[in-house]
Amino acid sequence: MAPIKVHGVPLSSATQRVLATLYEKELEFELVPVDMKAGEHKKEPFLSLNPFGQIPAFEDGDLKLFESRAITKYIAHQYADKGTDLACGDTKQKATIGVAIEVEAHQFNPAASKLTWELTWKPVYGMVTDKAVVEENEAKLAKVLDIYEGRLAHSKYLTCDCFTLADLHHLPTIQCLLGTEAKKLFDSRPHVSAWAANITARPAWCKVLALEKH
Ligand SMILES: N[C@@H](CCC(=O)N[C@@H](CS)C(=O)NCC(=O)O)C(=O)O
């Protein structure tokens, strides 16, 4: 049996971040489904894996982790010699990747995830989209994407000409936003648009999307 276990569901953006990393690294793993409708993530034994009751949770032998971005960093470093090098370069390059990872988590993701909730998930649950929230977060996301547009004019990916964890962490929310009216924010910025098209076409990411259909 594969020593790596991911507890989560293929539709969860945070779970997708971890699955994309495992596929990039060409690692074998077991996806252990969590029945969220039954509240399995709020009860034992799941709470022993993540006391905050959120997916994904991760096990590699006796190591147990949660928080998707911490999990991806562990995988990238522990399995550095496997598959795609997601943390490429020297210490200074790695520090730059670290900055871009923080920017995704603290600048891009707050606005992007509010938009995915308003534009994708609320309609799925029969709830009404709040236009004021959409407007506010589109403006916030536009500012971040302006900065990305400037960076991507100089390199193919966010930190250099290699695809790294900094790019990968954006995949779940970008994929979702490209199917909404917020796509216009990407389309209107040529470098951002090319980057988004490039990273969402990666074979590892396509494998994550294929899991949703099962
Ligand atoms: N910062 C966490 C966020 C995890 C998260 O928000 N997971 C969602 C699914 S994508 C969840 O478990 N939601 C249910 C809940 O919060 O009760 C991570 O990156 O792992």
Q: Using one digit for the tens of pLDDT, what is the confidence trace for 111-120?
A: 999 999 999 9
Q: 100 C-alpha vs ligand 1 centroid, how far in Å?
A: 21
Q: 73 C-alpha vs ligand 1 centroid, how far in Å?
A: 17
Residue 189 placed within a domain:
yes
The band of 88, judged by pLDDT with boundaries at 50, 70 and 90, is confident
Domain termination residue (choose one: 29, 50, 83): 83
Atom number of ligand 1 nearest to Cα 69: 19
Q: Using one digit for the tens of pLDDT, what is the confidence trace for 120-151?
A: 999 999 999 999 999 999 999 999 999 999 99
- Provide the pLDDT for residue 99: 98
The verdict on 180 and 99 lying in the same domain is yes
213 pLDDT more than 90: no
What pTM value is reported for the model?
A: 0.97
The verdict on 115 and 195 lying in the same domain is yes
1 pLDDT more than 60: no
The verdict on 65 and 117 lying in the same domain is no
The verdict on 30 and 109 lying in the same domain is no
Q: What is the CATH number of the domain that holds 190?
A: 1.20.1050.10
The verdict on 30 and 70 lying in the same domain is yes
Q: 188 C-alpha vs ligand 1 centroid, how far in Å?
A: 30
Residue 212 placed within a domain:
no
Give the mean pLDDT of 195-209. Answer: 98
Q: 14 C-alpha vs ligand 1 centroid, how far in Å?
A: 6
The verdict on 96 and 198 lying in the same domain is yes
Which protein residue's CA is at the shortest distance from atom 9 of ligand 1?
12
Residue 110 placed within a domain:
yes
- Provide the pLDDT for residue 212: 86
The verdict on 160 and 62 lying in the same domain is no
Q: Using one digit for the tens of pLDDT, what is the confidence trace for 161-183?
A: 999 999 999 999 999 999 999 99
The verdict on 69 and 102 lying in the same domain is no
- Provide the pLDDT for residue 2: 61
- Total structural domains within the chain: 2
Atom number of ligand 1 nearest to Cα 13: 10
Residue 211 placed within a domain:
no
Long-range contacts of 66-75 (CB under 8 A, 24+ apart): 68/14, 68/15, 68/17, 68/18, 69/17, 69/101, 69/105, 69/169, 71/17, 71/18, 71/21, 72/17, 72/18, 72/21, 72/165, 72/168, 72/169, 73/101, 73/165, 75/18, 75/21, 75/22, 75/25, 75/27
Q: Using one digit for the tens of pLDDT, what is the confidence trace for 16-66?
A: 999 999 999 999 999 999 999 999 999 999 999 999 999 999 999 999 999
What is the spatial order of strands in the sheet that 63-66 belongs to? 30-33, 4-8, 57-60, 63-66
Residue 24 placed within a domain:
yes
Asked whether the beta carbons of 165 and 86 are under 8 A apart, the reply is: yes
User: For ligand 1, is residue 34 a contact (CB within 6 Å)?
Assistant: no
User: For ligand 1, is residue 55 a contact (CB within 6 Å)?
Assistant: yes
Identify the domain containing residue 196 by its residue range: 91-205
Which protein residue's CA is at the shortest distance from atom 14 of ligand 1?
54
Q: What is the CATH number of the domain that holds 70?
A: 3.40.30.10
Domain termination residue (choose one: 83, 107, 124): 83
